[in-house]
Amino acid sequence: MALRRCWAFAGVVPRLLWNRPVLPGTSVHGGRSLVCSIVNSQSGCRNRDFSSAPQSSEVTYEQLKQLLAGRRAVVIDVREPWELREYGFIPGSVNVPLGQVNTALQLGPEEFKEKYGGEKPLPTDNIVFSCLAGIRSKAALNTAGSLGYKDVQHYPGGWKDWEKNEQHR
């Protein structure tokens, strides 16, 4: 419903901005402060970027190690199962191939656990997506964000970076 209200004002916002002065310190590039304040005041939309991903959506190897050690994130590897068998995987990660992420995140908790062997993350959980080199994990991040998952990130170095760093330890 709120999304419908947001889209209803999508045609109004450009017209409102057309004759509106840009004040110093006002962000127009990201579209966040000026546009969202107009849309929010008229439609009740939540204040967020037009992207479904949070602004700091990438984690480094060290950050991922800390998240895993503190059990503060669910790591989802979006590679195909044969890739995990052939190359390896991050310990504690759950394998959900990229083509199944959309469907998997909409399953019930029991069904998710039965199919993927791990706990289904809640929309409020911190999720870190990983793949081989960061391309598919970025796509998965966007998919999760579009489904309402709030705290999603990806590991752009992927398995290649993980393996390289683990060998140096």
Element (H, E) at 144: helix 135-146
Q: Are 66 and 35 within one domain?
A: no
Q: Do 26 and 81 reside in the same domain of the chain?
A: no
Same domain, yes or no, for 159 and 87? yes
79 and 13 part of one domain:
no
Residues 75 and 137 placed together within one structural domain of the fold:
yes
Q: What is the mean pLDDT of residues 1-11?
A: 44
pLDDT in tens, 131-167: 999 999 999 999 999 999 999 999 999 999 999 999 8
**Is 66 domain-assigned?**
yes
Provide CB contacts within 8 A for 24, sequence distance 6+. Answer: none
Q: Under 8 Å CB-to-CB from 126, ≥6 apart: which residues?
A: 67, 72, 73, 74, 151, 152, 153
Active site positions, annotated: 131
Is the pLDDT higher at 107 or at 31? 107
Cα–Cα dist 53/42, whole Å = 24
Mean per-residue pLDDT, 94-99: 97
Domains in the chain, number = 2
Residue 19: give the domain boundaries.
2-43
Q: Are residues 71 and 150 located together in one domain of the fold?
A: yes
Of 151, 112, 150, 154, whose CA–CA distance to 129 is shortest? Answer: 154
- 119 CB-side CA count, 13 A: 11
**CATH code, 132:** 3.40.250.10
Reply yes or no on whether the pLDDT at 19 is more than 50. Answer: no
